[in-house]
Chain A
Amino acid sequence: EVQLVESGGGLVKPGGSLRLSCATSGFPFTDAWISWVRQAPGKGLEWVGRIKNKGSGETRDYLAPVKGRFTISRDDSENTAYLQMNSLNTEDTAVYYCTWQSMHDFHHWGQGTLVSVSS
């Protein structure tokens, strides 16, 4: 069974940092592309960033508003992906989902972890 389990969310002050983890099982993680997608309260889905597999150079791409503040990484030995978020602001408040994607769709999703940025 494919599983993606996010953790690390919580309440953080503006300007603070947080590191989310996405622990996976049930699929060949080393070959997988992983994206992070977020959903602000009462709002729609917003793609945040993606990391390709090692064979594709572990290329990272980001949504413009988070570029330079967010960093996606992966540990293939632990089947885990990470989202390091720095310089957080109130607009980053959302549920963050990690997803196992193909080139053109998001076929498996984690349950999400809530990040709240507030003073």
Chain B
Amino acid sequence: QSALTQPASVSGSPGQSITISCTGTSSDVGSNNFVSWYQQHPGKAPKFMIYEVSKRPSGVSNRFSGSKSGNTASLTISGLQAEDEADYYCCSCVDTPYVFGTGTKVTVL
């Protein structure tokens, strides 16, 4: 099972909105709503940001939102802030083997 495809990098200025895509196939992303997103700052553990495509865990800013269309899931960060600079990973977490995306580095200009 191949890793989900994400852009290597996305950048934006403070206050802007950016969107990170996560492309799979009809067998994973396209077949269910069990896509989750994780944020990872350098040298830190990943943090759970979005589950079931668009739901936010308690404590996660509402600037983060998720969506899905066909075989592609997306994470949108609105009102970009310096603290959002990090790596982001999606996961198609239907069943084992769980498959993560290739990761996207978000840079705040």
Binding site for B on A (CB under 8 A): 35, 37, 44-47, 50, 61, 63-64, 97, 101-102, 104-112
Contact = CB atoms under 8 A, between A and B. Distances in A.
Given A45-B89, A64-B97, A107 B48 contact: yes
B45 A97 contact: yes
Interface of B: 3, 34, 36, 38, 40, 44-48, 51-52, 57, 89, 91, 93-94, 96-103
B96 A105 contact: no
B81 to A, nearest CB: 22
A83 B14 CA distance: 42
A35 to B, nearest CB: 7
Main secondary structure of the interface of A (DSSP, over half): strand
A47 B45 contact: no
- B3, B97, B98, B100 pick with most chain A CB within 10 angstroms: B98
A33 to B, nearest CB: 11
Contact of A108 (B44, B48, B94, B98): B48
A104 to B, nearest CB: 4
Contacts of A44: 3, 89, 100-103
Nearest to B33: A104
Nearest to B44: A111
Given A50-B96, A104-B36, A105-B34, 8 more contacts: A35-B98, A44-B102, A45-B38, A45-B103, A106-B48, A109-B48, A111-B45, A112-B45
B34 A104 contact: yes
Contacts of B47: 109
A50 B38 CA distance: 18
A47 B98 contact: yes
Nearest to B1: A64
13 contacts: A44-B100, A44-B103, A47-B97, A50-B98, A104-B36, A104-B94, A105-B52, A105-B91, A106-B91, A106-B93, A110-B45, A111-B44, A111-B45
A70 to B, nearest CB: 13
Contact of A105 (B40, B44, B93): B93
A47 B1 CA distance: 12
Contacts of A97: 45-46
